[in-house]
Structure 1
Amino acid sequence: MGARVRGPKASASDATETVLRLAVLLQAGMSPARAWSHLAASGDTPAARVVASMDDGMPLADAIVQAGAVQPSQRAPGASDETARAWREVAAAWRVATTVGAPLAESLRGLATALRDAQEAADDVRVALAEPAGTARLMGWLPLVAVGLGAALGFDTFAVLLGQPLGLVCLAAGVALIVGAQRWTAALVRRARMEGGIAGLESELLAIALSGGVSVERAIALVRAAGVTADPATEGVLALSRSAGVPAVELLRATSAFARHRARIEGRLRAARLSSRLLLPLGVCTLPAFLFLGVAPMMLSVMSTMPLSL
């Protein structure tokens, strides 16, 4: 049995680097198994996982999928399941290329470019989201700061919130609003993030399959067997290729590149719109929570100390 490989934090960018190195070794004339072994010996952690899985008798394509099956504790912060998805896409390209006999080095170089574009687009969106998301999280704790501020100014804030019926109502309402604001904000940020995976993956894999000399129908069947969903844009490219009588490979690669570019722009637009949308939980939840936990207890405290007039 192969030893379990442990290494540094894994991220989707590891797949890009490994695939690029693998393409260079394959272009130099190495066999796939030997290329993976050399990468593993050089300290490449994903390649070491692939070799360990192959030593256990696992087929190479399945071993590539296994390279992304890392434990959550070994993932880079924010990586989520991007690592596993990236390696599934590498495995799909590997299966298609080896089945049709397409040049592995060229196919992997193209896939590495697609992986790099997808990772850069995700990084752009992550950076754009960092400031508004961080500001929203900071503002979410403002009501709790108001509680401490009221106590620091000499009001019996805690006594009111914990000892009076109206104070308990304010406490329950404020906490509920804080929780609602945090969940609402998290949902908005989650929707603004880019969808994982390579945009235009079907076009990229079809280009790999067709470069091996198979028919369009056979290429489509192989891509479907690899678990890649259909893309309406691909049908139009194939129809254009048939009507114009030109090879579809370059058209498909151009379509894949444009799909990645469009996904990057759409991700940036979603990040830009997030700043204004985050004002909704701030106005609907955070500011009322500030009133319930900060202003209302101070007013109740003042009222409780006022002498009753006859």
Structure 2
Amino acid sequence: MLTAIAVLMALSIILSAPLSPATRLQELLRPRPHDDEPRRGGRRIREDSEQEKLWAISAVENCAHLLRVGMTPQAVMSTLSSQNALLIPISRAISLGEEPGRAIATRGVGLPSAAAEVFAGMSAVWTVSERSGAPAADMILRYARAQRSAVDADRERQIAMAGPRATVRVLSWLPLIGVGLGLLIGVHPVELLSGLPGRSSIGAGLGLYLVGRWWMRRMMVRAQL
């Protein structure tokens, strides 16, 4: 009976082991699935947020290029709104005479949060360029490049953290692996609870395990900042 339990524990550990680095990298770089596919918690939310931000950055880059070739702000936003209906309120406000920076800041409430953040920065850059007399196209393009660099840096950070996360998962399974190995060699862990030394060692082990988990999680969170 104990041997069967040990075998089942070993199989569960093997099946739940973290993916290889190559497979993990492919998962991180996998393109966004269709909307009808199931979502997977925080990681899927992060990927959706990244895709929204990348779309907004592309729109900002297109805006800068269109301004550079001589198109008016009204024509630029009309062109962008024809590609995405979420920008129609901004285009309409500019066509009614509102300043581009103000229109983007006040009429972009229907945008997704990640995209709205990018457009909010764009509105500030556009307003500053108009008031200072600097070329709006150049400043907006520099802002878009800075945003894209930030997204790339965040993606590289997530890829770099894949290895430590896998290591933490492996270390989390080590206590169960030790119990399984003990059962395989004929040790009965239940007998450890009959004496004070056994209970003390198990209590200390659980305490150190929880402290180690907290410490590792704290280090990973600080590494992502």
Q: What TM bracket, shorter-length normalisation? A: 0.5 to 0.7
Q: Report the Cα distance in structure 1 between the residues aligned to 2:172 and 2:195, rounded to whole angstroms.
A: 25
Which of the numbers 142, 147, 150 marks the counterpart of 1:115?
147
CA 1:109/1:169 → structure 2, altered by over 3 Å: closer, same or farther? same
Q: For residues 167-206 of structure 1, what are the structure 2 equivalents within 5 Å?
A: 167-193=198-224, 195=225
Gaps of 5+ in 2: 1-34, 36-46
Q: Is 1:140–1:181's contact at 8 Å kept on the other side of the alignment?
A: no
TM-score, normalised by the number of residues in structure 1: 0.44
Q: Report the Cα distance in structure 2 between the residues aligned to 1:152 and 1:85, rounded to whole angstroms.
A: 56
Q: Is 2:77–2:90's contact at 8 Å kept on the other side of the alignment?
A: no
Structure 1 counterpart of 2:147, one-letter code: L
Q: Is 1:137–1:182's contact at 8 Å kept on the other side of the alignment?
A: no
Q: For residues 34-183 of structure 1, what are the structure 2 equivalents within 5 Å?
A: 34-43=75-84, 48-51=85-88, 59-64=103-108, 67=111, 69=113, 86-157=118-189, 159-160=190-191, 166-183=197-214
Deviation by residue 1:8-62 (Cα, 9 ceiling, x = unmatched): 923143332221122123334444354334334324xxxx444457779983224
Which of the numbers 14, 19, 34 marks the counterpart of 2:55?
14
SS where residue 94 of structure 1 aligns? helix
Q: Displacement of 1:139 after TM fit?
A: 1.9
Q: Is 1:64–1:91's contact at 8 Å kept on the other side of the alignment?
A: no
Gaps of 5+ in 1: 1-6, 71-82, 196-310
TM-score, normalised by the number of residues in structure 2: 0.57
Deviation by residue 1:220-254 (Cα, 9 ceiling, x = unmatched): xxxxxxxxxxxxxxxxxxxxxxxxxxxxxxxxxxx
Deviation by residue 1:149-203 (Cα, 9 ceiling, x = unmatched): 323433222x24666655444444333322222221122122223x5xxxxxxxx
Q: Report the Cα distance in structure 2 between the residues aligned to 1:36 and 1:134, rounded to whole angstroms.
A: 45
Q: Is 1:68–1:86's contact at 8 Å kept on the other side of the alignment?
A: no
- What percentage of residue pairs aligned between the two structures are identical? 29
Q: Is 1:16–1:112's contact at 8 Å kept on the other side of the alignment?
A: yes
Structure 2 counterpart of 1:122, one-letter code: D
Q: Report the Cα distance in structure 2 between the residues aligned to 1:118 and 1:163, rounded to whole angstroms.
A: 57
Q: Give the aligned CA root-mean-square deviation in angstroms.
A: 3.6
Q: Is 1:26–1:35's contact at 8 Å kept on the other side of the alignment?
A: yes
CA 1:104/1:189 → structure 2, altered by over 3 Å: closer, same or farther? same
Structure 2 counterpart of 1:9, one-letter code: D
Q: For residues 186-265 of structure 1, what are the structure 2 equivalents within 5 Å?
A: 186-193=217-224, 195=225
Which of 51-60 and 103-112 deviates more? 51-60
Q: Report the Cα distance in structure 1 between the residues aligned to 2:207 and 2:89, rounded to whole angstroms.
A: 50
Q: Report the Cα distance in structure 2 between the residues aligned to 1:163 and 1:41, rounded to whole angstroms.
A: 75
Q: Is 1:27–1:105's contact at 8 Å kept on the other side of the alignment?
A: yes
Q: Report the Cα distance in structure 1 between the residues aligned to 2:92 and 2:191, rounded to whole angstroms.
A: 67
Q: For residues 257-296 of structure 1, what are the structure 2 equivalents within 5 Å?
A: none
RCO higher in structure (CA 8 A, sep ≥6): 2
Q: Report the Cα distance in structure 2 between the residues aligned to 1:174 and 1:27, rounded to whole angstroms.
A: 65
Q: Report the Cα distance in structure 2 between the residues aligned to 1:86 and 1:165, rounded to whole angstroms.
A: 60
Q: Is 2:54–2:148's contact at 8 Å kept on the other side of the alignment?
A: yes
In the other structure, the counterpart of 2:4 is none
Q: Report the Cα distance in structure 1 between the residues aligned to 2:150 and 2:123, rounded to whole angstroms.
A: 17
